[in-house]
Structures are given as structure tokens and as C-alpha cells.
Amino acid sequence: ESLSIYLTRVSLSPLLLAAIKSLSLSRKLKLSLFSSYSDPARALKFSKMSVRVLNPNAEVLNKTAALHMTINAAKGLQDVLKSNLGPKGTIKMLVGGSGDIKLTKDGNTLLKEMQIQNPTAIMIARTAVAQDDISGDGTTSTVIFIGELMKQSERCIDEGMHPRVLVDGFEIAKRATLQFLENFKTPVVMGDEPDKEILKMVARTTLRTKLYEGLADQLTEIVVNSVLDVDGVTGGFNFQESLSIYLTRVSLSPLLLAAIKSLSLSRKLKLSLFSSYSDPARALKFSKMSVRVLNPNAEVLNKTAALHMTINAAKGLQDVLKSNLGPKGTIKMLVGGSGDIKLTKDGNTLLKEMQIQNPTAIMIARTAVAQDDISGDGTTSTVIFIGELMKQSERCIDEGMHPRVLVDGFEIAKRATLQFLENFKTPVVMGDEPDKEILKMVARTTLRTKLYEGLADQLTEIVVNSVLCIRKPEEGIDLFMVEIMHMRHKFDVDTRLVEGLVLDHGSRHPDMKRRAENCHILTCNVSLEYEKSEINAGFFYSNAEQREAMVTAERRSVDERVQKIIDLKKKVCAGNDNNFVIINQKGIDPPSLDLLAREGIIALRRAKRRNMERLVLACGGEAVNSVDDLTPESLGWAGLVYEHVLGEEKYTFVEQVKNPYSCTILIKGPNDHTIAQIKDAVRDGLRSVKNTIEDECVVLGAGAFEVAARQHLLNEVKKTVQGRAQLGVEAFANALLVVPKTLAENAGLDTQDVIISLTSEHDKGNVVGLNLQDGEPIDPQLAGIFDNYSVKRQLINSGPVIASQLLLVDEVIRAGRNMRKPTA
């Protein structure tokens, strides 16, 4: 009927009761409070009463154990995040429950993705995340500061000091530090015209803790301009009334705040800057704790094991793909779960089809696939280059070098190599009439790495002509306007270019012509069939006449549309032997087909949307969405339209067009494996020609650029670098040689002899590449071996970035939540 709760406070151990689940507030509640000087023996003896009185199954940690648990959890969380702090911080690799991977230095991201189970660590993580929500940064600094406070407290407590004494001291120190902060800050005037240089310094400081230096400096201008652009817009980036940003820089580890997401320059902005002052040795002392303190079920690879795991994964993926590189590369056979077979040399296809599970290999594969998406080629080269960077790094790390030193050297070498590439490239004039021979050389170089020499040489002409066909001066090249159609028919050498369009279907009426010359082409997106209403409707009739009237009314609107097309046909074909062809994106029902067939009109229905665009570019005219205002100017023209039947499949050819800006590459082959291989090669060939036209330059191939860049780095750049970063430059330079080495190895040549002969020629001032037939140096320009500038540039940009990130991974944590976006 009632509940009496007696709470007594004794000096040794406070007893806190009254959990919500055990209260019965529906009854009469009586509270009796006893002070510390009451006589507990007379009311209820609480000398050391256990919580198990309330819950017999409860797990209890009393004073000393609870204190050590909280301190160890704080130190454990500090140990996980402290290596991320500052521009030189390392990276964490989070592997989610479904295998999703995330590389991050951001403490906020790390705390949100980790499944922390320790209650103390959860409280600290929530405090740190709140720090990020309020001020935009400082998550990692908050965690390590709390951890250090707990660590310093532990020493005092172990000597017998009561925690209350420490807490009182903390409060005094906090007030004094805040007062010192007010006197220490440096005011910055931010009026109608903020000091842009100060903002750049702030943004640069922040960004360099998250990204490598080159990208951070590039993004600095973008970040500042984006913030200033929203100045005056209501709310800005968020809806805070004002924002104060405090930036402190200490000699060991900068505390960096002010991410864009938390800026609101539409409000009053105050900036306070702090110079280097703190004593790192007294402020931050790091210990090494396992992440398992936070989550006992987490799978963790710490520094050495994580590094070796990433290096071995990179080398493993390199070993899988390196035998595919170059004209002498071998072929992989992929066998799917259902027995499907695919033969390929294309690295992009291989990486997409393989079921890679290692998180490092997945990251490298994604980088290589992105290389193909951006530049159209270089997938295999990217993988083996990253693998070689990791292999060269392993030798240095095994000798005691810190990965950060190598990463700094990689960044220097990357910038120097990109600058060398600008001077090494060969300009090509691409005006209204591009140099067709250069384009053929580039396409041939690409195709010979995918197909055997005879077929590659035949496809070279087709690929170049198809790109030149769709090219419009002063406009970008849209490769989607090249339709790649395949027919399982005859041999691969029967592949040809159709300057027009090939549709993968034919007419749907037996009385329509199978071949027609001098054709007017109507490209339309008009429904020529009866469509039922979208709502439930009924019609009731009492006799057959009413039913016939209903059917006639239903057909009337469709027949009127068909009649307008027939009238246009009669208008343009009267007095000549011209023909009329309709290619419709929507449907044409049988009665409409009958009407059109009687007038000698060829009609195709259900054409692909992309083909509608290609038809207009190939034949001329315009795509119409209504038949109300049809004019002869809406029609295109084709000299020949015919239907080809192959088994049960029908193909419609639209050829002999006047001025096509769309075409079709018709791939033929005896089996699906050959056709798929040719398709992949043709796509890469098209991209290589497109890149050459847009880049207006090429790069000498056959390994010439890699050898020249390596010699440049060792002979000139390395001498200008101070300190141990020279070793990073040297490792980068040696990694470049993986391309000529692999080309020689796949050709059955002695790699050492090849590299010695190539470097010797380069030292003499001769730019040479590798002749895969005899292993002798050749002039790539005379041999017509050229690579794409954009492919090389993307390779040099992306390879070192992912290698640096992997080298800086100091822990791999398989405890993150599922990082996929929830499906609808």
C-alpha cells in the first residue's frame, strides 16, 4: 500500500536508491531523509547495504573497482583516439558488420561508428560528440583531455587522496584557466569585410588535420569563399544566434576547431586565436590501452599487425593483377557461383567481378575502379603501383622508419612527378581536323593491351572513326552516342562500324517491307495504342449497337493520330519513290500497325530512349511528342533501312545517313566470351581517343615516362629534400619502375637487364621505352606507342593518396555499425 525509502549518507559510501523501475508512484510515497549524524541502527542499518536487495541479479562494482573501471575506460578511449590528433596523426580503418569500410581521422566519425559498450566510455563519447555538435571540432581533443585528467587523478588516488579533493581542485583550475583564456586570446576584427587571410589560416589549420597538405591547401580557398558566399543569408550553415570559435595551437598537437558545418557567418562571428604556449609533456601523456576496454567483442589489429595486414593485402592484389598488364599480359578466367564464365584481361572487369573480402584490398579496388570511371583506363596500373608503394615502404618500416616520414616523402615526390609530367607530355594540335594518325596510335596502344594484335589493329580504325563521327566542334564528346551492338554471328574480325544506327528489334507486322531506300524517318514518342483509364470505370450497354459505338469511340482518338502520320507520309512521298519509317518509343497496337502497313509505312515500336537521341543525331529531324503539328522539317533521312534476321532475333539497320553525329559499332563473334572481351576493349579504346582529343597532348608509352620520372626524382628532386623524407622520395621513385618491370616480366624478359639498359639510356639523355619483342630500348614516338596524359595524371594523383592512407592506419577495428545507408 505504501513505500518508504530511507536514504542515509555516510562518509564512506553513498547509497543511491530509487530507480524508476522500482518505484510505485501510483501508491502513497513517503520519503524519510537521514543526515550523516543520524543513528542508522534505529531506522535501518546501511553500513554496507548491497544493491542486490533491490535486484538479486544485479552486477555491482563497489568503490575501488568502480573507480578503476571508469579510469581504465577513459584511458582506453584516449588510447584509441590519441594517434589521430593533429596534421601528423594516423588513420583508423573501421570495418562494419556487413563489411563496409571507412577510413577516418575524425574523432566524431570514429565515436559515432564504433559500437562502444563500456558505460564510462559511452558517457565520454557523448560529451565529445556534443563538443563537435556545438563548435564543429575538438572531439579527439576532448577525449584525450578527459582521459589525461583521469590518468593524473589515478596517481593521486593510489596515494590515498579522496576523489572529492581532486574534484574541488579541478573546479578551481577550470575557473582560473577560463579567466586566463580571456586574457590570452588575440581579438580579430570581423566587420563587413572579414580579414580573408586570417580565415584562410584558420581553414588551412583545420583542413591539414584531416587531409594531406596539398589537398588541404587547395580546399582552403574553396572553404573560405563558400562561407563568405552565405554571409547574410538567414541561418547561414545553421540556425545559431552567434558562434564563438576558439582555436588553440600547442607545440605537440594542435586543437583544431571551426568546421564549415558549424559556421554561421550570417550571425555575429567572434574569432579568438592562441599562439603556441602549452607544455605538451605536462598536458598530454599517452599510454597504450586496448579498444577492447570499450567493446569486449571488437576485433582489433593494433599498429604493427594492422600495418602488415594492409601491406600484405596490397601485395596480394598486386600479384593477382600484374600478370594482366601490357600486350603480353595473360587472361583471367572468372567462374561465377552459377557456373557463368568470363575471360578478361581488363582490370576494371576483374575487380568488379571478384568477391574481395579483405578491407585493404577493397579500398585499393575502389580506387582502381574510380581510376577507370574517371579516365577510362589504368586500373591494373593503379593496383600494381599502390602495391609497389606498399612493398617499398615495408622495407623501410622493417628498418624502424615511421610511416609518417614515408608519407611526407610520397607527397613531395608526387608533386615533383606531376610537375615533371607537365614538361614530359607531347602537345598535339586538335582543331576542327584532329591528327588522325596520332589518334590511331593512342587507340592501338590501348587496344593491344586488351586483344590480340590483328584484331586490335582492325578495331583501331573503327574506334577512331566512331569518335570523330560524333565529335562536334566546340562541344564535349558524348560517348553514349556511340551505340555498341553485338551479334553472335560469324567471327570477331567481322566487327564493323555502321554510320547510322542498329536497333535490336524489327517491325511487328508481316506485311511491312523488310528493305527500303530513300526513307523519311519520323522519330516520335507518341502512344499509338488504346490505353485503359487509370481509374475503375464501367460502361453499361443494352444492345450490340451500343457496344459497337463504344468500341468505335475508343478507337477514334488513336486512329486520328495514325491518320495524321499517314497524311504526312502522303505529303512528303507524293510523286516520288521515297519511303516512310516510324520509330516510336511507345507502343503501337495491331489495328494501328494494319493502317500503317496498308500505306506502305515501316513502323518500329518500343525503341530505347537512348536510341531516340541517337536517331535524331544520325538522321536529322527532331523527336516529336505529339502528332498535332507534324511538318516535313520534323523528319530525318536515311538512304537505306533494312531488317536482318538472325535466328529468332531481328535487327534493323539505318544506314547511308547524310551527316551523322551518332553511329554504331557492331561487334560480332562466335561466342559470348569473345564478344564480352571485345566490348570491354572497345569501351577503353573509345575513352582513350576521347581523352587525347580533350587533353590535346599524349605521353610516351612503353614504360618511358616511368623510367624518366624515376631518374628525375633520384637525380634531381631527392637532392633538394632535407632529412629522412628523402627515403620516401626514393621509395616512390623505385615504385614507378613496377610498370616497365611488369611489362618485361610478362614478356618473358629478364627484368634486371631491362631496367639497367633503360636507365642507362635515360642517363645519356635518350628517352626510351621497352621493346617487348627483344627487350631492347626503343623510341616510343617512332614506334607509335603513346599513353593518355589524363590516365597518367590520375594514376600519379590517386596511387600515393591511398597508399599514404593505408600506411597511416594504426588500428583496424571490426566493431563499427553497418555503414550502409538504410534501404527504403
- Residue 591 pLDDT exceeds 50: yes
- Which listed residue (408, 492, 684, 695) is catalytic? 684
What integer is the mean pLDDT of 768-780? Answer: 89
pLDDT band of 544, cuts 50, 70, 90? confident
Length of the chain: 824
Pick the catalytic residue: 346, 377, 492, 810?
Answer: 346
The stretch 8-36 carries a mean pLDDT of 37
Taking the CB of residue 87, how many other CB atoms lie within 10 A of it? 18
Q: How far is CA 159 from CA 153, 653, 702, 794, in A?
A: 10, 92, 71, 60
What local confidence, expressed as pLDDT, does residue 60 receive?
54
Q: pTM score > 0.75 for this model?
A: no
| Contact between 233 and 160 (Cβ < 8 Å) | no
- Confidence (pLDDT) at 385: 93
Q: Would the pLDDT of 292 be above 70?
A: no
| Contact yes or no for 765/51 (Cβ under 8 A) | no
pLDDT at 664: 92
| 531, 677 contact by CB (below 8 A) | no
What value does the mean pLDDT take over residues 376-387? 89
Residue 685 CA to residue 457 CA, distance in Å, equals: 11
Q: What pLDDT, in 10s, does the model give residues 550-565?
A: 777 778 888 888 888 9
pLDDT, tens digit (0-9, with 9 covering 90-100), for 461-475 = 999 999 999 988 778
| Res. 534 pLDDT band, cuts 50 70 90 | low
Percentage of the residues of the chain whose pLDDT score is greater than 70:
81
- What does the CA dihedral 93, 98, 100, 102 come to, rounded to 10 degrees? -40
- pLDDT at position 55, please? 53
What is the pLDDT confidence band of residue 443, given thresholds at 50, 70 and 90? very high
Q: Check residue 246 and give its pLDDT.
A: 28
Looking at residue 641, what is its pLDDT?
A: 92
Whether the per-residue pLDDT at 417 is higher than 90: the answer is yes
- 28-42, 710-724, 740-754, 778-792: range with lowest mean pLDDT: 28-42
Among the options 70, 220, 379, 417, which is catalytic? 379
Among the listed residues 70, 90, 120, 380, the single catalytic one is 380
Distances (CA, A) of 212 to 76, 717, 783, 802: 27, 20, 39, 11
Strand 636-646 vs strand 515-524: parallel, antiparallel, or unpaired? antiparallel
Over 50: is that where the pLDDT of 287 sits?
Answer: no
Annotated active-site residue 209? The verdict is: no
Give yes or no: 684 in active site: yes
**How does residue 35 score in pLDDT terms, banded at 50, 70 and 90?**
very low
Q: Is 379 a catalytic residue?
A: yes
769 vs 280 pLDDT, higher one = 769
**Per-residue pLDDT band at 87 (split at 50, 70, 90):** confident
What average pLDDT does the structure give for the chain? Answer: 78
Domains parsed from the chain with CATH numbers: 2-53 (no CATH), 64-297 (1.10.560), 301-427+700-816 (1.10.560.10), 436-498+669-695 (3.30.260.10), 501-531+545-659 (3.50.7.10)
474-488 tens-digit pLDDT: 788 888 889 999 888
Of the listed ranges 2-6, 143-147, 224-228, 271-275, the least confidently predicted one is 271-275
Residue with cell 580579430: 188
- Confidence grade of residue 666 (pLDDT, cut at 50, 70, 90): very high
CB-based contact 259:136 (threshold 8 Å): yes
pLDDT exceeds 60 at position 36 = no
Mean per-residue pLDDT, 290-309: 61
State residue 419's pLDDT score: 93
Model pLDDT for residues 108-139, shown as the tens digit of each residue? 888 887 778 788 888 888 888 888 888 878 88
CA dist 711 and 705 (Å) reads 10
Using alpha carbons only, give the angle 394, 396, 401 rounded to the nearest 5 degrees: 115
Does the structure show a pLDDT above 50 at 233? no
The answer for residues whose C-beta is within 8 angstroms of residue 590's C-beta and 6 or more apart is 509
- pLDDT at residue number 398: 85
Task: Say which range, 148-157, 351-360, 493-502, 683-692, has the weakest mean pLDDT.
Answer: 351-360
Question: How much helix, strand and coil, in percent to the nearest 5, is found in the chain?
Answer: 50, 15, 35
Q: Span 587-613, mean pLDDT?
A: 88
Helix axes 704-712, 725-736, angle to 10 degrees: 160
Confidence band for 360, pLDDT divided at 50, 70 and 90: confident
Hey, what's the cell of 25? 508512484
Average pLDDT over residues 767-782: 89
Q: What is the pLDDT of residue 445?
A: 92
Give the phi and the psi of residue 162 in degrees, each rounded to 5. -75, 140
